[in-house]
Chains A and B, each alone.
Chain A
Amino acid sequence: MSKQTQRKSMDYVKKEYKRTRTMPANWYLSSYEYKFNITHMQPFLKKLKEKKLVANKCSGCNRVFFPPRLVCGKCLVKPDRWVDIRDTARVATYAIAYLKDENSEVQEKPMVLVHHDGADTSSIAELAPGVDVKDTYISMPIKAHWKDNPEGGLMDIEYYDLMDDDAEDLNESK
């Protein structure tokens, strides 16, 4: 990121420094393992197979975590209740990434944070391929698009479809 930045940004007052020798080194993250307890994810993954969404809820602060969380940081307890969540959602916020595809052409790709109705957290997701990125706006209503045969994984929701927005203040929020 940073190196590109300098190449493409504007000229600035530069000073040259003497180059001394360099000593190489590496950091192999491939020799690391990351351990996670995903026990609390199981009810959620199981329900995905039925095209249903569940989230866990903290009894202390009543926040609903979707996807489920191990610990509620606000209360420092494990969430202990399960609640159903609708598959309708809103765009919490978005950004547009410019990524090179196989032909090195830059593609505009919207990255959205999806806030499901009834949940208190947002998660990162993709919009339907046909959505024009320029039309994306904050709090745009969307709906989960399920895979034909859900397998109980996070990819079961392939992407999010747009919903008709009949709110009267649509033009203002746009």
Chain B
Amino acid sequence: MGRQVAIVSAGYSEHASKRSDVSMPELVNEAIEDCLAKVPSVELKDIDAFVNGNMPAFEGSNIPELWMTDWMGARNKPLMRVTTGGTTGGSVAISGYYTVTAGIPGIDTVLAIAFEQQSQGDTSVGLASVAYGEISILNSLGISYDQLNRLLSAGAAIGVAAYQATTYMSKANITEEDLARVVVQNRRNAAKTWWAHLKMPDLTIADVLDTPYVQYPLRYGMVCPASDGAVAMLFTTEEKAKDMCDIPVYVNGVASVANETAVLGYDGSGSAQLDPSEQLGAMKSADLAYSQAGISFPRKEIDYAEVYAPFPNQELMWVEKLGLFEETTAPEMYETGVTAHKGELPVNCSGGVNSTNAIAASAMERPSEAALQIMGKASNQVPKTVHTSIGSGWGGSLNLITLMAMSDEPKRKWK
């Protein structure tokens, strides 16, 4: 049966829209150095295995881990590459957990790395090519290129999110102001996070509502930036963790559930996600991860949440789907400050994906921040003591969901 797994450290590179000073491996190295600096007893040579991932099509490099081997210090080490689109970071973190928990002899300490240097590539083509193959079949079935172009503009992440925003807003009966409030909270939090990208200490709701629409109901001011950045997390066994740091964070539950795609099905068929804000996959993920972690009342037991949400409506929706709040009550929680830095259940105090989005790294920054908050080493540390926290991710066409639940006690029980 599996072993208890602990996170002992996490580190970041600086995030910005153009990290033109560093190449991809140097960027990764910044994160590794920051990660290892927090655990003085661990050196690069003590790492038994590597897992990493990025979103290759955004950067024009296939399996970059191959040529980055030496630059990462992975020469003659076991290395596995995991990529799942937007959830890549989450998936890499989860595979880091599995690599340790599997109990393969000689593999105890695992470094998980996720990175993205979007300024090198063409994000719009990258995003369009997610659905490009599926959309091209529609042309064979009689749809003109003119119309295809319009469909392409809706095939990318923003299109999916806009559909989702409309349904959520109609269900929860909220206005754009409620969305803007989430953005303001995030970007003010980002101002206190050293590695964050969009640091806006003085942002107001009016500022956000003053920007034009990208796609109704989402405005430019509400959309995540495109960042360059990398993140690294160090996983190890329960026994070794105690020697490496004061407060090891135990990973108690993980899940990465896949659902059918939203908006567009495979082969250009329809989508069975009639309501893109329903998110059966997220609920199943929460079920799986919480049952492993022995969390029965998420609202009461979880002290801190990092939720992957490039768009504000998703943050509202996701905290509900992950069981932190009742359905449609999240906007009220943001208004009353429950989710604020000093609140009862702080959410995304790092500024979230809404402020910093180095695509593949983003989904790992959620569990890594959630872990640092428990260790008390987060850069925008919340005043309350955090015992249990979660970090989530979504990717693909709203269909891949990752979740990691962690705590300062090893609670994972095996049947």
Residue contact B150 to A111, C-beta cutoff 8 Å: yes
Q: Which residue of B lies closest to A137 (CB)?
A: B170
Residue contact A36 to B140, C-beta cutoff 8 Å: yes
The docked-state distance in angstroms from the alpha carbon of A123 to that of B268 is: 9
Residue contact A12 to B199, C-beta cutoff 8 Å: yes
Interface size class, chain B: 35 or more
Known: A2-B118, A45-B141. A123 touches B270 (CB 8 A): yes
Report if B274 contacts A (CB, 8 A): yes
Quick one: CB contact mask for B248-278 with A, threshold 8 Å, 1 for yes?
0000000000001001111111111111100
| B125 cross-chain contacts in A, Cβ below 8 A | 27, 29
Residue contact B207 to A1, C-beta cutoff 8 Å: no
Q: Which residue of B lies closest to A120 (CB)?
A: B272
Q: Which residue of A lies closest to B272 (CB)?
A: A121
Known: A12-B199, A18-B20. A2 touches B226 (CB 8 A): yes
Residue contact B136 to A68, C-beta cutoff 8 Å: no
Residue contact A17 to B21, C-beta cutoff 8 Å: yes
Residue contact A9 to B137, C-beta cutoff 8 Å: no
Which residue in B23, B159, B217 is a CB contact (below 8 Å) of A111? B159
Residue contact A1 to B127, C-beta cutoff 8 Å: yes
Quick one: CB contact mask for A38-55 with B, threshold 8 Å, 1 for yes?
100100010000000000
Quick one: CB contact mask for B108-123 with A, threshold 8 Å, 1 for yes?
0000000000101001
Name B3-50 residues within 8 Å CB distance of A. Answer: 14, 16-23
Residue contact B166 to A138, C-beta cutoff 8 Å: yes
| B220 cross-chain contacts in A, Cβ below 8 A | 4-5, 8-9
The docked-state distance in angstroms from the alpha carbon of A93 to that of B171 is: 11
Q: Which residue of B lies closest to A13 (CB)?
A: B199
| B132 cross-chain contacts in A, Cβ below 8 A | 29
Residue contact A109 to B19, C-beta cutoff 8 Å: no
Residue contact A111 to B154, C-beta cutoff 8 Å: yes
The docked-state distance in angstroms from the alpha carbon of A155 to that of B264 is: 17
The 7 tightest CB contacts between A and B, nearest first, are A153-B142, A2-B226, A121-B270, A95-B162, A96-B216, A123-B270, A13-B199
Residues of A near any B CB (own CB < 8 A): 1-6, 8-15, 17-20, 22, 25-27, 29, 34, 36-38, 41, 45, 63, 65-70, 73, 92-99, 108-109, 111, 113, 115, 119-124, 126, 133, 137-138, 151-156
